[in-house]
Amino acid sequence: MKRIASFSVDHDLIGPGMYISRKDGDVVTYDIRMKKPNGGDYLGVGETHTIEHLFATFARNGGLADKVVYVGPMGCRTGFYLLLRDSVPPKEAIGLVRDSMAFIAGFEGHIPGASRKECGNYRSQDLPGARRTAAAMLEALEGWTPEMLSYAAGA
């Protein structure tokens, strides 16, 4: 079988940040790396689930809502993928992620979509963990520019 693109990246060289993982037609996949790969510190299950609910809700309700294709966690529990239409300039994509992390870091109240009827594992939530991780991501993305979106920038 053909090796997929994400397995061709040297994960030892990636740190927390935001990277362009791939481009497929008119879709750009962004790697929102929250934890150092193979660093021993991973996103918790409830924390990941809460980030997913809040990140997806925020991204799909803002000015770029019609350009958001997908928001979801990585199986390795080190971050998220954000798929956007390529009509979104990289600077705006970075802004969307920063704004999403600020929203999560300050979120209080009922987590959208976290009821039995809306979610298949609605009790698996960790808002304090999600808030801490989002605040750390805001720090990691401080001063992030489009030139830093390549994996070489994370080395």
How do residues 96-139 score in pLDDT, each as one tens digit? Answer: 999 999 999 999 999 999 999 999 999 999 999 999 999 999 99
pLDDT at position 54? 98
Q: Give CA–CA dist 119/135, Å, rounded.
A: 25
pLDDT-derived band at 74, boundaries 50, 70, 90:
very high
Report residue 50 as tokens: 């809460």
d(CA 96, CA 62): 9
pLDDT band at residue 153 under the 50/70/90 scheme: low
User: CA 105 to CA 99: how far, in whole Å?
Assistant: 10
**Mean pLDDT score of the chain, rounded to an integer?**
95
34 by Cβ neighbours in 10 Å (0-12 / 13-18 / 19+) ranks as buried
